[in-house]
Chain A
Amino acid sequence: MFGYYLELALRSLRRSPGLTALMVLAIGFGVASSMTTWSVFRAVSGDPIPWKSSKLFVPQIDMWGPSARGSDGEPPDALDFADAMALMKAHRASRQSAIYAVSPSVVPAATGAFPLNVSGYGVYNEFFPMLDVPFLYGSGWSAADDASRAAVAVISHTLSQQAFGDGNSVGKTIDIEGRDYRVVGVLADWNPQPIFFDVRDTGGFSGDGPDVFLPFDRAIAVGMPNDGSTNCSVMPAAEGFVGLQQSSCIWIALMVELDDAAAVTGYRQFLDGYAAEQQHAGRFAWTPNNRLRDLPAFLTFEHVVPRDTKVSLLVALGLLIVCLINTVGLLLAKFLRRSGEIGVRRALGAPRAAIYQQFLCEAGVVGAAGGVLGLLLTGVGVAGVGLVLPKRIADLAHIDLSLLALTMLVAILATLLAGLYPTFRASRVQPAWQLKSN
């Protein structure tokens, strides 16, 4: 019977090509626009480290006090040097690392090579296991290296190739800011989007991944200046990078790993205890105002998904709804036009269920056709999204099997949904009236 209904549907659709084309266009367009924006939204709102994000936390401490707080009462979203070092020394989480952005110059080994300007971070040894950073060769450095401020570095595969050519460069020496560092690890391709450990400086998204990681204390000791953003509530009293370290300016990100709810509670108490201690010592003249957000909550707090992307998604959904309403109206017109045919079928003994099957079949065919058109348009849309959205974000959007399947599914389901009411009306057609009027 299904095959027969399909044939009927095709026949009926062919009979009024204008109306059919209109419905297919409406559905194809609506689905394509919402799927295109969805592909972008999916790309930017994705969890960069899904297997672990619920165990990663970002502590925030209010070192500026009520006068610098916004209307939302939130403490600053990064740490000053003193507090970051205090939290690192306390070592209350299973793993933790302070992080700050550096931009040193690197001189490749080949003679006569020009220096490269690279981006990177000063971090602690636990950074690598905490974020499951993948290594191609070697590994991160040890706690002892951190303590001794050893001249060691982890570099990206790209930088390794630029500086040493192909092959394993672990153990070789690299010139960073005029000093020699021993390469202990080479990263496999690693460029998480959003760059969740440095949201403040990058806004969450940037093109190339970091090229170099150095021990935090080493980078501080050699005076490698902060390349990330610095925010101050009061000007530093002393000069330069040392002055920045003595100030309450915020420029350091801190991430900790807490394995269970008890550890989270424990860390919260520790933070409040620390702030209370500072208050007692006279450094803070206010009651503790700390936050401990897990990574997904922190990314939301930092508005990592751009506002425009959300507005676009909302607008595209609105377009889809209008398309559906349009389709309901057109299907209604199409089905009721065939009241006579329905009357004859009913009079010959077809139950209402049969009418339902026939017309939902027809709606499904329209949906499938709209879906196919939607697939094409989504392809065009994702390819052209760079014209419309910021490039760094548009680059993340891509077509995959799940997007294609979802496009088809949304098109057919939406059309079936739109077809429900018209089909209901069709099944209520009174056979007697139709037969009489003809």
Chain B
Amino acid sequence: MHPIISALKHHKTVVILVVLEIALTCAIVSNGIFIIGNHLATMRMQTGVADNELVWAESSGIGDASTSASQASRAAADLAALRGMPGVKSAVITNSLPLSSTGSWGTCIARKAGGADAESVCTVVIYAGTAGVVNTLGIRLSQGRDFLPQEYQDYDPFQGERAPPPSVIITRSLAQKMWPGEDPLGKPIFLGDKNSGVTHVVGVTDHLLNPSINKQSGADLNMLLPVTLATGNMYVLRTQPGVRDATLRNLPKVLDGVDEQRIITENHSYSDTVSDYFHDDRALIWLLLVVIGSLLALTALGVIGLSSFWVQQRTHQIGIRRAIGATRGDILRYFQTENFLIVSAGIVLGLGLAVVLNLLLMKQYELPRLPLTYLPIAAIVLWLLGQLAVLGPALRAAAVPPVVATRSV
């Protein structure tokens, strides 16, 4: 080991450059892998609904019926037409869907009537759906029951004075936040103007994502209310497998058939909606993969270039070593050990840099803290890369014949 280190002292600059290069690569790669991991984790979240069987549409029309009675009759006509489509299992109207980025209502809800701030949980998303919403969406309840037919009521959170429906289904996350460690079933939730309205928890679901995932509301802080008419007017259809795409194509015609004055503003299969929602995440992952790949390739090429230079520079010395008894294996191992030492120094510096870079990203771009488990991954990748890169030049060095020692140049 010692002769290698003292030999390196004669090439300080080059060694420092390689160490720096490895350190930077290490810092960027570990943070890159971490960011990729984060985005992948978000993308793998279960929406909590039947992703592949849902189709949805929104419409707006001229002369929208203004009284709630005429709205209700319109909605009933629309739903009847939609349910009549071949292969459609059920259809409901909701205000929004997980990851649809539209129609989301956020509100504060309280544990007690007129509760002080400490008693309330804010930025809770309210979903509202018409009869059959739980089965149509495919929400799985881990506790409690579905809504009863009589529990669907004419309610709109933005029309404050009316009492909310008697029952509500909430997510596990919301239950934990409202009543940590307690059984949420049957607990009252107060909402509306001055928290005057009350509803009771009848069911709990483990998975139901918000319309969009953000810092304020988190991923799944929401509750579902049974209503007869949902503002936002999102028609959600659950189809038999295989007829989804046909349903999607025919949907505008069927809705226009009920009222041709309307404009279909949205018409999508739900899996496309989810895929659209994650477009940016996928894009960033690809970008980072390309950058990480090119960084690693560049670093490897740099190591190959400099090792080749060293081998060339030391041909004479290698010849002498071989002449005085060093085996090919010795020469090979010399260059491999040298590379290992340099890469290790780079990794040590790089791990420090990775933490600094992460702190910077945390501060500037609200990224979470880098878990230390990501650091060994980057280190192992770089060690392997270094060994791989040095193999070619080291083999060439090992092939230098002892007779070179006797030549003058």
Residues of A that sit less than 8 Å from B by CB: 19, 22, 25-26, 29-30, 33, 67-68, 103, 105, 107, 114-117, 177-178, 230-240, 243-244, 306-308, 310-312, 314-316, 318-319, 321-323, 325-326, 328-330, 332-333, 337, 387-391, 421, 425, 438
Contacts and interface: CB of A to CB of B under 8 A. Distances in A.
Interface stretch (B13-21, B47-55, B77-85, B169-177): B13-21
A29 B298 contact: yes
Contacts of B288: 315
Interface string B85-113: 00000000000000000000011100000
Contact of A310 (B32, B158, B364): B364
Contact of B365 (A33, A117, A231, A307): A307
B158 A311 contact: no
27 contacts: A68-B122, A107-B62, A116-B263, A117-B263, A117-B265, A234-B193, A239-B158, A240-B159, A307-B365, A308-B280, A312-B284, A315-B288, A315-B291, A316-B291, A319-B294, A319-B298, A322-B298, A326-B302, A329-B21, A329-B302, A329-B305, A332-B17, A333-B14, A388-B290, A389-B287, A390-B279, A438-B409
B182 interface: no
A214 B28 CA distance: 51
Contacts of B366: 307
Contact of B286 (A178, A230, A319, A387): A387
B229 to A, nearest CB: 13
Q: Summarize A's interface: helix, strand, loop or mixed.
A: helix
A311 B17 CA distance: 25
B193 A235 contact: yes
Interface of B: 13-14, 17-18, 20-21, 24-25, 27-28, 32, 35, 60-63, 106-108, 117, 122, 156-161, 191-194, 261, 263, 265, 279-280, 283-284, 286-288, 290-291, 294-295, 298-299, 301-302, 305-306, 309, 312-313, 361, 364-366, 409
A308 B280 CA distance: 9
A301 B301 CA distance: 42
Nearest to B59: A117
Contact of B306 (A116, A117, A314, A330): A330
Contact of A33 (B107, B294, B309, B313): B294
B294 A388 contact: no
A20 B24 CA distance: 23
Contact of B108 (A105, A233, A237, A438): A233
Contacts, number: 155
B404 to A, nearest CB: 16
Q: Summarize B's interface: helix, strand, loop or mixed.
A: helix
Contact of A329 (B18, B279, B364): B18
Contact of B17 (A19, A33, A328): A328
A74 B21 CA distance: 42
A215 to B, nearest CB: 21
Contacts of A316: 291
Contact of B14 (A310, A315, A332): A332
A312 B287 contact: yes
Contacts of B192: 235
Contact of B312 (A177, A244, A337): A337
Given A29-B298, A67-B117, A325 B17 contact: yes
A322 B21 contact: yes
Contacts of A388: 283-284, 286-287, 290
Given A235-B158, A237-B161, A311-B361, A322 B24 contact: yes
A316 B295 CA distance: 10
Given A115-B61, A240-B159, 17 more contacts: A26-B298, A103-B60, A115-B263, A234-B194, A235-B192, A237-B161, A239-B159, A315-B28, A322-B21, A325-B24, A326-B305, A329-B306, A330-B306, A332-B14, A333-B306, A388-B284, A388-B290
